[in-house]
Structure 1
Amino acid sequence: MNEGPFPVAESVLAFDVGSRRIGVAVGQRLTGDGRPLTVVNADSHARALAAIAPLIEQWRPQALLVGRPLTLDGKEQPASERARGLARAMQRHFGLPVIEVDERSTSQLAARRFAEARRDGRRRRSDADLLDADAAAILIDRYYDAPGNHLPCPP
């Protein structure tokens, strides 16, 4: 496995940052995949950090992954700066490495996975609230699949 410019974390929490909500997932290197956890309020950095703190205490990750919203052709967009701002706040507040992961198409993939799981009876309609957390789990899958393709969040 390519280690990239920094060591691959054994355990991570991932965050899919939206304008109103943040999907959260947990993952570990041993299994190489992510598991949706919850969705937290994203209306301010302070509230988001307060909601994230107990998750970090409970799961004790070695690194935090934050989805980096890009256009389909790989360019920055307004949501990119919002996600990067939260990533910097998390880095300062929690003192953990924060790694940006390309989140293009994660929401669409999460919606497809959700629909398939519903058809198979593994998901209920009420689970749709966790769709953003499913997108965060996909970030973990991408991180462990290709760790050298991700960048630490700039200070």
Structure 2
Amino acid sequence: MRKIALDVGDVRIGVAVSDPLGITAQGLTVIERVGIRKDCDIIMDLIKEYECDAVVIGLNKRLDGSDTPQTEKVYEFKRMLENKMRSSKMGHIPIVFQDERLSTTEAEKILIEADVSRKDRKKVIDKQAAVIILQRYLDSI
């Protein structure tokens, strides 16, 4: 079964999925945020479409391990997604956090090395960060 990863930001959510064997992560899409309930609905549709058995959410922490202002927003997003999944008979699918420290920096570096223009990097950096988050998770299990 596949895993799905989310890089949750204030403006966009980067999404990546694993291959069916759970070995590699591929970028899927970038969701433009419209509201937490609608965002969760879109993610639940992707979970169903790709038949995912786990959701991995990148958790942004400071380098010393303490929470950032974004951390609480991500906790709230996870709570909302869990509640919506429970009410939609998807509550059996676990939602786990994966440390995402420096994932955006790493994504930026990869895109620069691939000679992606600054304008185009803005469009895909969240998706690339989700790929990094998911690959870290897959490598850890």
Percent of paired sites with the same residue: 30
CA contact (8 A) 1:29 1:144 kept: no
2-structure distance, mates of 1:114, 1:26: 19
Paired AA for residue 97 in structure 1: P
2-structure distance, mates of 1:69, 1:111: 16
The change in CA–CA distance for 1:54 and 1:127 in structure 2 (over 3 A counts) is: farther
Please, what TM-score do these two structures have when normalized by structure 1?
A: 0.78
Query: In the alignment, is residue 73 of structure 1 matched against residue 64 of structure 2?
Result: yes
Q: Deviations over 1:87-123 (max 9, x none)?
A: 12222222220010000000000011111122xxxx5
CA contact (8 A) 2:4 2:55 kept: yes
Paired AA for residue 145 in structure 1: D
Shift of 1:50: 2.4
Please, what TM-score do these two structures have when normalized by structure 2?
A: 0.85
Number of matched residues? 134
1:20-31 equivalences in 2 (<5 Å): 20-28=11-19, 30=21
Structure 2 stretches of 5 or more lacking a match?
86-90
1-structure distance, mates of 2:36, 2:24: 27
Q: CA RMSD in A?
A: 1.8
Q: Deviations over 1:105-145 (max 9, x none)?
A: 00000011111122xxxx56536412101100101111111
